[in-house]
Amino acid sequence: MNDEYRLRMEAQDLTKEPPTDEPDRQYYFMKKCRGIVKKKSEELGRPLTCSLTSFGCQMNARDSEKLAGILKQSGYVLTEDENADFVIYNTCTVRDNANQRVYGRLGVLNGLKKKNPHMKIALCGCMMQEGAVIDKIRKSYRFVDLIFGTHNIFKFPELLCTMFESDSMIIDIWEDTNQIVEDLPVERKYLFKSGINIMFGCNNFCSYCIVPYVRGRERSRSPKDIIREAERLAKDGVVEVMLLGQNVNSYGRNLEESVSFAELLREVEKIDGLERIRFMTSHPKDLSDGLIEVMKESKKICRHLHLPLQSGSTRILQAMNRRYTKEQYVDLALKIRREIPDMAITTDIIVGFPGETMADVEETIDVVRQVKFENAFTFLYSKRTGTPAAAMENQVPEETAKEGFARLLRVVQDTARERAALLQGQVLPALAEEVNGQDDSLLTGRLSNNTIVHFPGDRSLIGRIVDVRLEECHGFYYTGHTV
């Protein structure tokens, strides 16, 4: 697929004005960037290097693959060393400590840039959509060269050219957009699996969450574009795709011809070459019977559903603006368990939300005991400026929140081990993903239900789905052998 990007870029005529249509306009600037990078490389007598760090969710990881693809086509050599000619942070802002990590690392970059004056630094992603962040960077981190947000990531080649041609900080932040521009270069982390953005933004406005403010309102890609991208990936050797959206269950609602997420899944399943389909994230309030039916009947949809609970207390769920009750969540989860017995259900839970009591935590623990999640990502509530919850009274003291967190975590771990142990002795297909980081005689694979398994195997198996006997359960992962 890289040849396709290269040919599209080389077809651009730099003697003419840039095209107005996207993405051709960006291919024009990519070609222009390539010339600039080549000239600077010749001046230095070596290739220009770029370090790209991604914080946060799968959506950010996918965005970073796009940035990496554009950088590679523009002539940069990607490196993990932050002492590079160009350093980019693709930021997350779900929790305040994510912001603080970026500020801390910027301090380190400032020292590196003083030793390497031609170094360029760029910041993008969700954190950059906050006005207070931009003001702070303008004031305290004036050595940053380029800032852009979540809505105009496709414009990266054009912004790169502007950065090279300017001596001042470039800031290009859009408050919102209806524009979706794909078909730009992508440098995938894995050759055999890939994410596919099916929608952007969120309309749910949970009271603790900053995402709708920084990612914008929901907008869905056309099903034809999604199918075309999935088909191209399959031809390129991808066997597993993950369909990405803040709430995939509401996919298609803003399209002229309404298409449900269940209908989209049926079409993706028809693509030859694709063997596995994953998706995230699902909101419990609108997970339909139609979706359950599609998952139940499918031979390709993975047996893993991430279904965020956040709290088991109906009172707290109302304060969170989650729009379902404890009982509705439990009924839905148990229905999925009945209809698809081998479906693994994972979740997110917040402890310490304003007004939460130990009785509310016990309600959450009760849900965990009833549903028996395969895993739960548990978080202490983090106040996010700009969200309704940050201004709520009855903020929970940290010690109280930590006590509730510890009680919940014990139950989560016990029930997760109980669920994992049910697989002992079974032979199940695993996608071999990489050489094990601790023992290079082992490969690390992933089951359809998202459980990790380590097993002896040759590197040639990476990217293939192989049958593995699950011999020993280690709580949250297995060791085994191929069959």
In a domain, 223, yes or no: yes
Regarding whether 236 and 151 lie in a shared domain, the answer is no
CA 226 – CA 243 distance, rounded (Å):
9
Q: What is the CATH number of the domain that holds 401?
A: 3.30.750.200
Tell me the pLDDT tens digit for each residue of 217-232.
999 999 999 999 999 9
In a domain, 296, yes or no: no
Regarding whether 390 and 319 lie in a shared domain, the answer is yes
Single residue among 250, 283, 316 that ends a domain in this structure: 283
**Per-residue pLDDT at 425 exceeds 90:** yes
HEC profile of 57-88: CHHHHHHHHHHHHHHHHCCCEECCCCCCCEEE
Regarding whether 31 and 138 lie in a shared domain, the answer is yes
Task: Check residue 257 and give its pLDDT.
Answer: 85
- The whole model's pTM is what? 0.90
Q: pLDDT category, 59, cuts 50, 70, 90?
A: confident
**Per-residue pLDDT at 321 exceeds 90:** yes
Regarding whether 265 and 228 lie in a shared domain, the answer is yes
H-helix segments, 373-473: 398-421
Regarding whether 267 and 147 lie in a shared domain, the answer is no
In a domain, 345, yes or no: yes
Give the DSSP H or E segment for 469. Answer: strand 465-473
CA 175 – CA 340 distance, rounded (Å):
42
**Per-residue pLDDT at 190 exceeds 60:** yes
Q: What's the structural domain count of the chain?
A: 4
Task: Check residue 178 and give its pLDDT.
Answer: 81
- Lookup result for tokens 């962040």: 133
- Lookup result for tokens 């009750």: 325
CA 472 – CA 191 distance, rounded (Å):
29
Is residue 398 classed as helix, strand or coil in its secondary structure? helix
**Per-residue pLDDT at 159 exceeds 90:** yes
In a domain, 334, yes or no: yes
Q: Of 310, 331, 308, 330, nearest to 320 (Cα)? A: 310
Tell me the pLDDT tens digit for each residue of 231-270.
999 999 999 999 999 999 999 998 988 899 999 999 999 9
Within 8 A by CB and 6+ apart from 412, the residues are: 349, 368, 373, 375, 376, 378
Regarding whether 328 and 276 lie in a shared domain, the answer is no
Residue 310 bridge partners (DSSP) = 349
Q: 5-24 burial by CB neighbour count: b if 16+ within 10 A, else e?
A: bbebbeebeeeeebeeebbe
Task: Check residue 99 and give its pLDDT.
Answer: 86
Regarding whether 436 and 406 lie in a shared domain, the answer is no
Question: What mean pLDDT, rounded, does the chain reach?
Answer: 95
In a domain, 34, yes or no: yes
Tell me the pLDDT tens digit for each residue of 7-43.
999 999 999 999 999 999 999 999 999 999 999 999 9
Q: What percent of the chain has pLDDT over 90?
A: 87
CA 83 – CA 144 distance, rounded (Å):
15
Radius of gyration of the chain (CA): 23
Q: Of 441, 474, 475, nearest to 459 (Cα)? A: 441
Regarding whether 410 and 360 lie in a shared domain, the answer is yes
What are the two backbone dihedrals, phi and then psi, of residue 29, each rounded to the nearest 5 degrees?
A: -70, -30
Tell me the pLDDT tens digit for each residue of 351-384.
999 999 999 999 999 999 999 999 999 999 988 8
Q: What is the CATH number of the domain that holds 72?
A: 3.40.50.12160
Give the DSSP H or E segment for 24. Answer: helix 24-44
Task: Check residue 5 and give its pLDDT.
Answer: 87
Task: Check residue 311 and give its pLDDT.
Answer: 98
Task: Check residue 96 and give its pLDDT.
Answer: 75
Task: Check residue 58 and give its pLDDT.
Answer: 85
In a domain, 288, yes or no: no
Single residue among 141, 172, 203 that ends a domain in this structure: 172
Tokens of 330: 């439990």
In a domain, 8, yes or no: yes
Q: pLDDT category, 147, cuts 50, 70, 90?
A: very high
In a domain, 166, yes or no: yes
Q: pLDDT category, 1, cuts 50, 70, 90?
A: low
What are the two backbone dihedrals, phi and then psi, of residue 154, each rounded to the nearest 5 degrees?
A: -65, -20
Single residue among 283, 311, 327 that ends a domain in this structure: 283
383, 395 Cβ separation under 8 angstroms? yes
Q: What is the CATH number of the domain that holds 463?
A: 2.40.50.140
Question: What angle (nearest 5°) sits at the alpha carbon of residue 432, between those of residues 426 and 435?
Answer: 120
What single-letter DSSP state applies at residue 281?
-
Mean pLDDT of the 401-413 span: 97
Regarding whether 438 and 405 lie in a shared domain, the answer is no
Mean pLDDT of the 39-67 span: 93
Regarding whether 200 and 108 lie in a shared domain, the answer is no
Mean pLDDT of the 142-162 span: 96
Give the domain extent around 250. Answer: 190-283
Within 8 A by CB and 6+ apart from 195, the residues are: 58, 61, 62, 65, 241, 242, 243, 244
Regarding whether 351 and 464 lie in a shared domain, the answer is no
Regarding whether 242 and 135 lie in a shared domain, the answer is no
Mean pLDDT of the 126-134 span: 92
